[in-house]
Amino acid sequence: MTVRVTAIWRFPIKSHGREPVDRVTLTPGQALPWDRTWAVAHDQSDADGSEWVPCTHFSRGSKAPGLAAISASLDEAAGTVTLNHPELGTLVLNPDSEGARLIDWAGGLIPEGRAQSARVVRGAARGFTDSDFPSVTLCNLSSHRAVEQRLGRPLSPLRWRGNIWFDGAAPWEEFDWLDREVQVGGAVLAVRERTDRCLATHNNPETGRRDADVLGALDSWGHRDFSVRAEVVRGGDVAIGDEVRLA
């Protein structure tokens, strides 16, 4: 069976909204364009955007489930992001100059007792992916269906907050791609590592509430991993419907 791209997602502001796109142009050594370009640093972080820092510096879904329900739309030309949340309504802002508006709008989603959102920072050289290299996450729909079956209920793939989704492979086949190169459309990516998962996967992306023990389901396979992180080694265009195959 031919393996093909089924969806492409980017997350302009880390943990604050997701956006589907039909195609992207990948560049060697870079994350997916406009993915995690901005992030919301909390009041116990010294992150200023000058260098990559791990996710512990930022407000994120593992600590604040309500953030999972935010959707986003980026206007690349204007540099503005439109955010929507079922309880907060709509916010349109320029993250570079209006970060305080985002803190006012979404700050209430951070639970008491957690580090509170403080400022929006922009990565000077790369997006704030969870890996210490600019990564693109490759997600297997067959593996997702295996998790659904283990839990006995449907799950939105958006729980995984991954970039490029594909279908037609066997469940967990992506783990066999470690240290190999994969051609996705016109680009080639080197698979570097499995993606370890956290409590953010328990969050319902429609309601922003925890409602499924996804980590428990993964534990039944002896790991807490889903998807793989890959590095772009040859640039090119990737679109929905493109073939995915070992290079």
Domain boundary among 69, 96, 122: 122
Same domain? 145 vs 224: yes
227 touches 174 (CB < 8 A): yes
Look at 124 and 214; give whichever has higher pLDDT: 214
What would the pLDDT profile of 86-118 be if each residue is shown by its tens digit?
999 999 999 999 999 999 999 999 999 999 999
Same domain? 77 vs 139: no
Long-range contacts of 56-59 (CB under 8 A, 24+ apart): 58/14, 58/15, 58/128, 59/15, 59/16, 59/106, 59/110, 59/115, 59/116, 59/117
Consecutive H or E run containing 38: strand 38-42
Give the confidence band of 31 by pLDDT, cuts at 50, 70, 90: very high
Q: Is residue 16 part of a domain?
A: no
d(CA 221, CA 226): 11
What would the pLDDT profile of 192-212 be if each residue is shown by its tens digit?
999 999 999 999 999 999 999
Same domain? 137 vs 225: yes
d(CA 214, CA 232): 29
Same domain? 85 vs 155: no
Which 3 state secondary structure label does DSSP give 76?
coil
Same domain? 155 vs 102: no
Same domain? 98 vs 144: no
- What pLDDT shows up at residue 2? 97
Task: Quote the mean pLDDT of the chain.
Answer: 97
The pairing of beta strand 117-122 with beta strand 38-42: antiparallel
Domain boundary among 71, 95, 122: 122
Q: Is residue 15 part of a domain?
A: no
Candidate from 33-42, 116-125, 132-141 with smallest mean pLDDT:
116-125
Q: Is residue 106 part of a domain?
A: yes
d(CA 34, CA 29): 14
CA atoms within 13 A of residue 234's CA, in its CB half-sphere: 9
70 touches 16 (CB < 8 A): yes
Looking at the structure of the chain, the number of domains it has is 2
Same domain? 181 vs 240: yes
Q: Is the per-residue pLDDT at 6 higher than 90?
A: yes
Q: Which domain holds residue 116?
A: 38-122
Interacting residues of 216 by C-beta distance below 8 A, sequence separation 6+: none
- What pLDDT shows up at residue 1? 82
Q: Is residue 153 part of a domain?
A: yes
Same domain? 148 vs 113: no
- What pLDDT shows up at residue 131? 95
Handedness of CA 130, 136, 142, 145 (dihedral sign): positive
Domain boundary among 122, 140, 162: 122
In angstroms, what CA-CA distances link 49 with 74, 97, 119, 129, 210? 20, 14, 11, 13, 30
What does the block give as tokens for 51?
A: 């260098």
Same domain? 239 vs 179: yes
Check which CATH number belongs to the domain holding 239 and give it: 2.40.33.20
Same domain? 179 vs 240: yes
CA atoms within 13 A of residue 102's CA, in its CB half-sphere: 33
Same domain? 105 vs 166: no
Q: Is residue 179 part of a domain?
A: yes
Average pLDDT over residues 59-85: 97
Same domain? 136 vs 221: yes
